[in-house]
Structure 1
């Protein structure tokens, strides 16, 4: 399905990002893996190699311009081009607003939105030069409605969705598709220590990361004349 395609996946060392990278590799894509954890990225790269596909690891903090430039150089040096960019890197903290510091705000907004901006900006010239390609943003239901004890996280995800909407207007007629995947709760390590606890029984009712990865695949496998701008999915345990 994605043979001869090159995908960049951020936040690829674990959880949803790892699941997306593996789902794309199983369908024939070569993958550029980005996150901060070198060891975990290398492990995912090994899983992709076992599937018969190529993987390049670019460890770094994507809030920083120099790390994003290194990611771009690694991708283009290895493969010469990029076809798919999945902005998945994200962090969160849950609690009343009074529990949040300015440093918490910067950490969440910069990881979820600034990194999306920098990564998109870095690879967009390549997609526009080709006149084709996909930008995917793994957002959240928290980017579609305000939720209690998630004010800053919601702000970051609303920003990400608005960014994607604006890009859809700019890029659609130039051959670049923009998609947003907005899941509810997912059973990963997300927000452990900042509002979630390992072993919480509620996690068992959450989506598996592979289900979110399949939603990304769904958006990407549309025909050239179609785009799935917003794909939302919720666990059965969560109300709308």
Structure 2
């Protein structure tokens, strides 16, 4: 599956009120692996950034003066995104800006270009309810190194989000052995699913069984004889 992790920087917060994209960064994953086929553009927004936005991304109006306008990169961007699952943190924000830029040029909207859009902010709120779920917070929580992120930058943020997404969705993939880097014919990716293997059952030895009984005795004492494991031992079919 082809996935594109996407981020933008803008002149302000409102596409509806005329704010524009000034930077776009995309990272490509194929079968959950980085391909190196990334996309990155600075864009001349034909207007100045708001002061608050400058404090966030640090991209000066002067720096953007000689950069291409969005119209010059739009077709390449559309083709790059076409048919992919696009992954964005706080997707409605970036999608609104992209759609506004596409409308100006008479191009299809994001939903008509990509296969789907996945919002990692929504995903994070479901996984970590009541916690901070900004990109920096997720990097800290998931062990992703964000020490180089002193200011927001579209490509850097997309790269960080790709690592965050992979960590957030690792799940059962941890049970798969990917040997795509091993020598093979025609670069075929081989994946071994451990769930199909007949794994041996290792029984507890006498010492381990005695330790188990000691723990159960302590649980019996503290629960006044209501240890669940004892009931399961008595009636194995309940397990």
TM-score normalized by structure 1? Answer: 0.30
Instruction: Answer with 1 or 2: which has the greater Rg.
Output: 2
